[in-house]
């Protein structure tokens, strides 16, 4: 079977998509583990890879089998991306709830702390033995 002159470039491009899928898989694992800092680290590399891949993908001719392989890789990447986003949204909601609870607690503490200066001690106002 003879290959097109661009076949090597096309295979290299598909290898980049496979590497992106591997990065996406690691990101999903970090999200499931709730390893948020590690997820952020993976995501920064992911964004760089996507940008590089977008430049390399422009005008790249692929045969039918290569297009199908690329489509399959993209579909899997997008599915994983959706699950990562679901985990992130859940985490955002959890943090929002914690922040809301913290604010309510702070507001309650402020509300009950400040009136202390208005409290009058009965001993000062009414000495002992006063009817």
pLDDT in tens, 55-79: 888 878 899 999 999 999 999 999 9
Let me know: does 70 contact 15? Beta carbons within 8 Å. no
Positive or negative, the Cα torsion across 26, 29, 30, 31?
A: positive
pTM assigned to the model: 0.70
Mean residue pLDDT of the chain comes to 86
> Which pLDDT score is estimated for 1?
41
Let me know: does 84 contact 27? Beta carbons within 8 Å. yes
> Which pLDDT score is estimated for 7?
74
Is the pLDDT at 2 greater than 60? The verdict is no
> Which pLDDT score is estimated for 42?
95
Nearest to 45 by CA among 25, 73, 59: 25
> Which pLDDT score is estimated for 60?
83
Give helix 7-33 / helix 36-57 axis angle, nearest 10°. Answer: 160
Is the pLDDT at 4 greater than 60? The verdict is no
């Amino acid at each position: 079977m003879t290959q097109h002159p661009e076949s090597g470039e096309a295979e290299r491009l598909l290898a980049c998509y496979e590497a992106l899928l591997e990065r996406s898989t690691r990101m999903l694992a970090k999200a499931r583990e709730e390893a948020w800092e590690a997820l952020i680290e993976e995501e920064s590399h992911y964004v760089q890879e996507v940008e590089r891949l977008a430049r390399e993908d422009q005008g790249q001719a692929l045969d039918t089998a290569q297009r199908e392989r690329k489509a399959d890789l993209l579909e899997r990447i997008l599915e994983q991306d959706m699950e990562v986003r679901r985990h992130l949204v859940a985490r955002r909601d959890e943090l929002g709830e914690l922040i809301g609870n913290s604010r309510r607690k702070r507001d309650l503490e402020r509300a009950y702390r400040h009136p202390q200066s208005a409290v009058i001690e009965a001993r000062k106002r009414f000495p002992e033995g006063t009817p």
